[in-house]
Amino acid sequence: MTTVKEMVRRPLGHFAERSLAGLAVILGAGVGFGILLVLVRTRWSPLYDVDHGVAAWLNDLVAPHGPLVTVLNAITDLGGRPVIIWLVTVAVVGLLIRRQARLAVYVIVTGAGALILDPALKTLVGRLRPEVDVPIGSYAGESFPSGHALGSMVAYGALLLVFLPAMAPRWRRPAIVLVATVVAAIGLTRIALGVHFVSDVLGAWLLGAAWLGVTAYAFRLWRRERGRTVPPLAEGLEPEAGHDIAPAPAEEQVLPHPRSAVAELVVGWVLVFGVLFGFGTYVSFHAEGTVFETLDTDVPQWFADRHTDALTDLSWWWSKFGDTHAILLVSMVFCPLVLAVWRRWRPVLFVALAMFGELSLFLASAAAVDRPRPAVENLDGPMPTSSFPSGHIAATICLYAAIAVLVFPRTDRWWRWVPVALAVIMPLGVAISRMYRGMHHPTDFMGAILLSALWISLLYWVLRPNADLRQGNQPVIESEDVHTLDDELVKAGRPD
């Protein structure tokens, strides 16, 4: 019996002796949420009047301004599940690669708790969404608490606590202010868009703060029980892990000669644009009687004559691999993994400039050439840009070619051929789909190849993205050690 009492006292004693103020804040947030929950459930008149009055006032203020609504929707998306899940997943994978399984467990548990609490409380309360005169925001499910506000509070707060030690001391306070600003902005946009009441957002913030505080203190108890020091939360959860979880070692310059590199890229961009403009103008308006005219006339018609429901559906899905959302998603997964494994910024810069250069060259060339779409049924309807060159195809080539350029020389394992295969298969599939759907001529495909080949070659020559290999840089985790990540995660939950 004495042993049981001691086991109960020790964690509680550690909690209290470390920070009574912190414990009071956590308890205060929990009590505040409980009170607010009761008031919402009982439909307390003063709260009801404030909630509905603010919702109506903001709707009248915001709804007439389309650009403002667009900005609010962009901000509110930062608290949506796709962004939160991406952030948490990338953080967990990166931490496991850096062999920081304890921190990975903390992020998983904290995030999972928010995912459980949000729908459970929504179902328990069963509160309807605001009814406004001009609906301007999309939503689903019940209203209390706000899932965006809760998810952003927990996810951004947890990631801040984990990665604070990786920041220089002078940047920690600005980082805290930035995260607080983002969380506050997300919550306020939910009210301004008319999809949540004020009390929904306040309740989510209180609940998120309480849950984040509980998991942070549980992690600190975990450290104490294993004989580790318990630092102030302002230093992060594990200060000693700062070097290991830093994205890359401190570098005075990512490039040895940044000014000359910028000049070379600007000059190269202009030359590539000139080549694209010349080729695009020729095949679009001056290629009568040539093989280019034959291809651009016969190939789109050949595809149009073979439309079937199954092929049309398949072409729609494959075409999506080359749209902005898919390209951005792959880039936002690959770049953090590059940082986690090779700890260098230059490869990330290579991918970022590949995509930025492709986009700017595509938009400039499309506007300058202004080529009409093929004279067949355009299955995707009117598009905001002209036909030459194909942006879908060029973006797909640039992305997967950049990935292959980085991955192939960095490992001797068999899977280094996978990015090479994708650099061929993905653009070819997107190209066939775009031509099948009547959105591009074959010479638009050629223009995309020309754009990608010239721009990627220029970037490789200027940036030297694999220079760190010649300097002896090795991956944080070897490919043959990947199977140990699960073991590290399991080990983190066991007592020492």
420 and 408 Cβ atoms separated by less than 8 Å:
yes
Find the mean pLDDT for residues 316-323. 90
Would you state the pLDDT for residue 21? 62
Which amino acid, one-letter code, is at 133?
D
Is pLDDT at 408 greater than 80 in this prediction?
A: yes
- In angstroms, the CA 40 to CA 390 distance is 53
Token pair belonging to 468: 């760190």
* 460-476: pLDDT as tens digits: 999 989 887 776 666 66
Q: CA separation (Å) from 199 to 51, 53, 206, 211?
A: 7, 12, 10, 18
Contact 33, 150 (CB under 8 A): no
Q: Which residue in 131, 118, 134, 129 sits closest to 80, CA to CA?
A: 118
- Cα 330 to Cα 332: distance, rounded to the nearest angstrom: 6
- Min mean pLDDT across 6-10, 21-25, 157-161 is at 6-10
- Give the mean pLDDT of 177-186: 94
Q: What is the pLDDT of residue 220?
A: 81
Give residue-wise pLDDT tens across range 144-181.
888 899 999 999 999 999 998 888 888 888 989 999 99
What mean pLDDT do residues 389-416 have? 91
What spatial distance separates the first Cα and last Cα of the chain, rounded to whole Å?
A: 25
How large is the greatest C-alpha to C-alpha distance in the chain, in angstroms? 97
Mean pLDDT of the chain: 84
Q: pLDDT band for position 57 (50/70/90)?
A: confident
Q: Which two tokens stand for residue 411?
A: 């490992």
| Cα separation, 46 vs 42, whole angstroms | 11
Block residue for tokens 């103008």:
281
Token code pair at residue 357:
């250069």
Buried b (16+ CB within 10 A) or exposed e, 129-164: bbebeeebbebeebbbbbbbbbbbbbbbbbbbbbbb
Instruction: In whole angstroms, give the CA distance from residue 120 to residue 476.
Output: 40
Residue 146: DSSP 8-state: -
Query: What is the pLDDT, as a whole number, of residue 472?
Result: 64
What per-residue confidence (pLDDT) applies to 29?
Answer: 82
Asked if 107 contacts 155 with a C-beta cutoff of 8 angstroms, the reply is no
Q: Is the pTM of this model over 0.85?
A: no
Contact partners, residue 40, CB within 8 Å, separation at least 6:
47, 125, 127, 144, 199, 203
Q: Please report which confidence band the pLDDT of residue 194 belongs to, taking 50, 70 and 90 as the band edges.
A: confident
Output the six-digit token pair for 334.
């690959």
Mean pLDDT, range 15-36, rounded to an integer? 71
* pLDDT on residue 12: 45
